[in-house]
Homo-oligomer: A and B are copies of this chain.
């Protein structure tokens, strides 16, 4: 693999000139430039990005860490990030955490070692404190889909509490009183806030949320099946299920059917995220729209500008611009009861 020196030699010029040509720099004679370009092509020269990075003291591409590649929400995030990267003609380097604290940490560490300046990280398993440290150390690090008060200006998050409230409100307005909730194990803040939102909203009505109505499991289709299984086995009565996400909602629906319960006739179900999935199934799922793609785009832009210019002088309130609002999408999985 030829180096810049090989090219220089072959072209009878100095490495400096070759470098100038590579970077479209000024101060190179037209014919010299042409000649060098030709040689570069002939010898199939490819600049060594590592060597470049070491000199430029930075890495222009944008690094992203995703907690879990298998979550369909991921695709939307990645897509959003990709969009703005493409606009700016930047490459993205994705490092996955595989939903486990150590590998999430590892992923960030590696990106840092490669000196990526703009980092978008979607961490599910790393604790606040560690993240705060990272954020303080790396100006271009932005947290996607996570809220940490101390560094809220570096977070892009969804108002999960409102999301929970929306679900609760809708279902109560439709006359439901016995409301089961399927949450998710783990330290995810999303879960906690959504649950808080649900409880808070329920309390505004004469509907009490009892702990036995809560079932926790995996954030998947199978998780939904199991949760319903458990609910039924425990003999709890419910006319509605509020699920942590669409996959769970659909798994739940399927298991309900398996037990001869029809949705929404016997049980109403509400999902969360509004993935394409929600529209594919019968009945179409009533769910909460999660503007994750927009959020991802925003996070990317923010990371990019922070990495270039640590002082953005944001006048507007951070909360207004960094907090995104979920919205209820009514479809056909909820029925009014009396």
Contacts and interface: CB of A to CB of B under 8 A. Distances in A.
A36 to B, nearest CB: 18
When all copies of this chain in the complex are counted, the total is 2
A36 B95 CA distance: 29
Contacts of A137: 44
The majority secondary structure among interface residues of chain A is: helix
A45 to B, nearest CB: 11
A40 interface: no
A114 B78 contact: no
A53 interface: yes
Range for the number of chain A residues in contact with chain B:
35 or more
A75 B74 contact: yes
A30 interface: no
A70 to B, nearest CB: 5
Given A50-B54, A115-B48, A280 B277 contact: yes
A109 B61 CA distance: 13
Interface stretch (A86-94, A119-127, A164-172): A86-94
Interface of A: 44, 46-51, 53-54, 59, 61, 69-72, 74-76, 78-79, 82, 86, 91-96, 98, 103, 106-107, 109-110, 112-115, 137, 221, 250-251, 254, 257, 276-277, 279-282
